[in-house]
Amino acid sequence: MSIQLPKLFESRMQRWLGDEYEDFMGSYERPRHAGIRVNTLKIGLEDFKAASPFELKPIPWCETGFYVDENERPGKHPFYHTGLYYIQEPSAMEPAEALNPEPGDRVLDLCAAPGGKSTQIAAKLRGQGVLVTNDISAERTKALAKNIEMSGVRNAVVLNETPDRIAEKFPAYFDKILIDAPCSGEGMFRKDPDAVRQWEKHSVDVCTVMQRDILDTVASMLAPGGRIVYSTCTFSPEENEAMIALFLARHPEFVVGELKHSPLFSPGRPEWVAGLAQSGGWLSPLLEQEARRGEPGFTRPEALAQTARAARIWPHLAEGEGHFVCVLEHTGEKAAPAEGAAGTASGPIIGAGEVLPAASEGGRKGGGPKGKGRQESRFAAAPRREDKSARQARGRQKDAYIREEASEDDVRRACLQFLSEQVTVPIFGTLLISGDYAYACPVEPERLRGLKVRRSGFQLGMVKAGGRFVPSNALAAALSPRESARSLNLSSSLPEAVSYLKGETLTFGEERVERGEGTDAKGYVLVCIDGYSAGWGKWAAGVLKNEYPAGWRWNG
């Protein structure tokens, strides 16, 4: 066997699995399974199947998930950079499926980095409702924010906070909460050899304390009648069934909900927890402390029995790594949403007293439809145009000076001016200015005050030297060609697509720039690959200046 498993782990699994043990151990001899999940925010499922450069095999528990050959390197195709799919371990797709978010829901993904489950939730929300996605690691939130933005998500806030701090700002706020809990990672031994080394450092002991505290805190953030999904990538019953039973004993207002089992999933194993307590077997210090209390909550029959409704994914039974998934339902009565309330299909999301203006789509050269005249801004009037000498003078100033001197109103006006000229659809949210950056925030901004925020919402862009508004790549990734005043389409079958993704300057004639009737070809252009947005460019005199961000570029 290429993986050296801990002897204690092997003995525990042999005792629990019995006759299944040999099949389980045989799974470590087989190759791992690679998967991608289609991002339906940007492309329809059937359209992706027709355009896919890979051979696709459906993942049974996720309609938008497919097995692919890892040797085909799905991260090295232009479609990956346009956000058409996310590379995700197949079993990891199940927790968001169990959460089942619906358009209009307020959802929290608490332990979210690098963002696979968050982007899956966002696709199910379809741009309606609120997604708050968080990770306690500041470094990991960088990848989280990038994946949210590359996927074209418009209604997400990215936090870098502890559960306690979020709970202070969002009491009883969320309809659905996903806890992909920090765990000992036993299910990842085949995928990540480092997980073996971490397990040998007694991470089960550490994780049970974190898991208990996270579950207790999250309960206060859930609205009555809401749903929590608790998931781990470990086999340890201390971190799975025992945690759920302990939570139920401490929170009688919750029950384990029904989970639509794939035939490839197995039920939870409450008898393993009971067996551990009865036999004096290894328990984490947290559970040992519970046991010494005489009536440990994690072994109460009425609570423990419910854990059989959870699902276990075993690598010898399903084509995926080990996972545990449990649905927790709040038994309180769910409040009916008010007419036109935030997160409903009938009105804009929270804080939308300000709806960002949209330019008309207009007729597009190359056969696009014609539209009505440009809409008026619902904010202050756009700033007057400066004469050429004034613009040049402002452009010579240092970025640092502009950042110091630009007021909130300057950023606001520059943002609204750009959107009114460039974007042909409304963008919903509260226009929130943070430093030089403008965001469409999907929650009441006061909820974010005092929190460590990586992204305050849908990042629209920033003001740079000379008062210039520079649109964000997040804005580009969320738009379709018809939603931008100018667009340019590249072919994934030609070198031009990869050249753009590498950050190279390209040359194109004016006829390649699709645009509204009467719109000059010069200016910001939404660059698309096979019709799907990737980023911005600035076209002038036959040259496309590349605006694709350095941190996103093709490095193959």
Burial class of residue 21 (count of CB atoms within 10 Å of its CB; 0-12, 13-18, 19+): middle
The position carrying tokens 């933005």 is 149
At position 158, the amino acid (one-letter code) is V
Token reading at 326: 């449990």
Residue of 156, 123, 158 lying closest to 144 (CA atoms): 158
Would you list the DSSP string of 346-378?
TS--TTTTS-B-------BTTTPPP--PPPPPS
Buried b / exposed e over 279-296, threshold 16 CB at 10 Å, is eeeebbebbeebbeeeeb
Active-site entry in 233, 326, 441, 528:
233
How far CA 527 is from CA of 89, 471, 532, in Å, comes to 30, 13, 8
Q: Is position 111 annotated as part of the catalytic site? A: no
Maximal C-alpha separation, the chain: 84
Q: Are 89 and 112 in contact, with CB atoms under 8 Å apart?
A: no
Q: How many CA atoms lie within 13 A of 45 on its CB side?
A: 10
Give residue 402's Cα distance to chain centre. Answer: 33
Distance, in Å, from the CA atom of 219 to the CA atom of 226, rounded to the nearest integer, reads: 10
Q: Active-site residues: which are they?
A: 233
